[in-house]
Amino acid sequence: MPRSAEYFYSHVAQTSAFPLGLEIDRAEGSWIYTVEGKKYLDLISGIAVSNTGHRHPYVLKAIQAQLDKYLHTMVYGEHIQSPQVKFAKKLSDLLPPGLDRVYFTNSGAEAVEGAMKLAKKATGRTRILSCLHAYHGSTQGALSIMGSEQFKNAFRPLLPDTGYLRFNDPAGLALITSQTAAVFIEPVQGEAGVILPEPGYLQSLRKKCAETGTLLVFDEIQTGFGRTGKLFAFEKFGVIPDILLCAKGMGGGMPLGAFISSSTLMKTLTHDPVLGHITTFGGHPVCCAAGLASLEVLENENVPEKVGEKESLFVSLLKHPAIREVRHCGLLLAVEFESEALNQRVIAACLQRGVISDWFLFNSSSLRLAPPLTISESEIRFACSVIVESISICTN
């Protein structure tokens, strides 16, 4: 029987003219294995998804247990499904008061869409602000608040009444008024190339939103579930949002997202109209079982607490004259070079040597690193040696 690769280009929709093209046989821990028998250290985790590693045994056990009970039964919010209930309760116990109602979705983009509707419904306002160089998803509502005109222009018209802030620019907070429904912001900008908030910026943003009755929405789709060394990045900065967005690392490798808020806000979606937001598959019981198990792994194995040490090891080993800067927040790192061309050569050289890395949508000169949080010290040392060797090859 022909291998999948023979049909990949003719039957699977492509999103670029240069797909990576690795034909995957299996994955385990921090490693991906191809059908040719070659193994690769995965420093991307499926874009910050496999926080507990590929196929963690505890997560697999939870998935199998749920498979033996039931799969899909009914649309969201109609049947009581214990995987949803247990996961929502666990999240609520770990989050601050006011973030105690979980609306499960299929993905991060859907979480953004739901939060946009919630903000409009709860405030009676329509204007939504986001940040330049922010990525919130590619569906039309999420695309409308993406901080890049290049990615938006081909799909207009998009949602009206949106606008941009400049991340870390306190003067821009004046754009937040009594007409603003919500500000959507990543506490650490991801696709911009790991841009951290300046001291006091998020606090000033929180204050301005409170003064104007604007809802503050933190997009932690990439930074959540231990990626920054805390369960959520907002804990590092001492600012609590009104709505929290999750996905990626949430599902332990299964498709799962959520927007989380207070009971008061969430109740606005239950009336005028009834079924103000619905989803057929959001919060699928198998995905929720996997998500709960993955969260328990993070907690029981003290995974977030170990992130800082691994972060420091990466930073200490990523030394080369061609590296302009290493920006980092936990195990989300950006290694900046002088140009996109050099970055792409380094990515290709790393791949040839068995290490998978990537770039950023809005910072093409920086190498993206977001490995499984369970990556070992020896794997980090191997990864960094390959990266530094690849840089040397590409600059000589």
Q: Are residues 176 and 232 in the same domain?
A: yes
Q: Are residues 343 and 291 in the same domain?
A: no
Task: Say which CATH number the domain at 144 has.
Answer: 3.40.640.10
Interval 10-26: pLDDT, tens: 888 888 888 888 999 99
Return the DSSP state at 48: H
pLDDT value of position 391 = 98
Give 10-residue mean pLDDT values along the chain (396 residues): 73 86 94 96 97 98 98 86 97 97 97 98 98 97 95 94 97 98 98 98 98 98 98 98 98 98 97 93 97 98 98 98 98 98 98 97 97 98 98 96
Which residue, of 264, 279, 300, is where some domain finishes? 300
CA 379 to CA 394: how far, in whole Å? Answer: 22
Residue 181 is part of which domain span?
A: 58-300
Give the phi and the psi of residue 202 in degrees, each rounded to 5: -65, -35
Which residue, of 284, 300, 316, is where some domain finishes? 300
Q: Work out the end-to-end distance of the chain between its first and last CA atoms, rounded to an integer number of angstroms.
A: 44
Instruction: From residue 250, give the alpha-carbon distance in Å to each of 7, 35, 272, 343, 346.
Output: 31, 28, 31, 29, 30
pLDDT value of position 3 = 66
Q: Are residues 166 and 237 in the same domain?
A: yes
Q: Is 174 exposed, middle or buried (0-12, 13-18, 19+ CB in 10 A)?
A: exposed
Domain count of the chain?
2
Q: Are residues 257 and 389 in the same domain?
A: no
Q: Are residues 265 and 335 in the same domain?
A: no
114-153 as b/e: b if 16+ CB within 10 A: bbbbbbbbbbebebbbbbbbbbbbeeebbbbbbbbeeeee
Backbone torsion region of residue 83, taken as left when φ is above 0, otherwise alpha when ψ lies between -120 and 50, otherwise beta: alpha
Interval 267-324: pLDDT, tens: 999 999 999 999 999 999 999 999 999 999 999 999 999 999 999 999 999 999 999 9
Q: Are residues 112 and 243 in the same domain?
A: yes
Instruction: From residue 299, give the alpha-carbon distance in Å to each of 138, 245, 295.
Output: 32, 20, 6
Task: Say which CATH number the domain at 348 has.
Answer: 3.90.1150.10
Q: Are residues 20 and 40 in the same domain?
A: yes
Give the phi and the psi of residue 368 in degrees, each rounded to 5: -90, 130
Q: Are residues 307 and 375 in the same domain?
A: yes
Q: Are residues 28 and 88 in the same domain?
A: no
Q: Are residues 34 and 147 in the same domain?
A: no
pLDDT value of position 6 = 79
Which residue, of 268, 300, 332, is where some domain finishes? 300
CA 79 to CA 149: how far, in whole Å? Answer: 42
Alpha helices in the chain (DSSP H): 5-11, 45-48, 57-67, 82-94, 108-123, 140-144, 149-152, 201-212, 234-237, 263-266, 285-300, 303-317, 340-352, 377-395
Report the predicted TM-score, pTM, of the whole model to 2 decimal places: 0.96
Q: Are residues 15 and 128 in the same domain?
A: no
pLDDT value of position 1 = 38
Q: Is 375 exposed, middle or buried (0-12, 13-18, 19+ CB in 10 A)?
A: buried
Instruction: From residue 278, give the alpha-carbon distance in Å to each of 111, 113, 172, 262.
Output: 12, 11, 35, 18
- Which residue matches tokens 């910050």? 48
Q: Are residues 66 and 31 in the same domain?
A: no
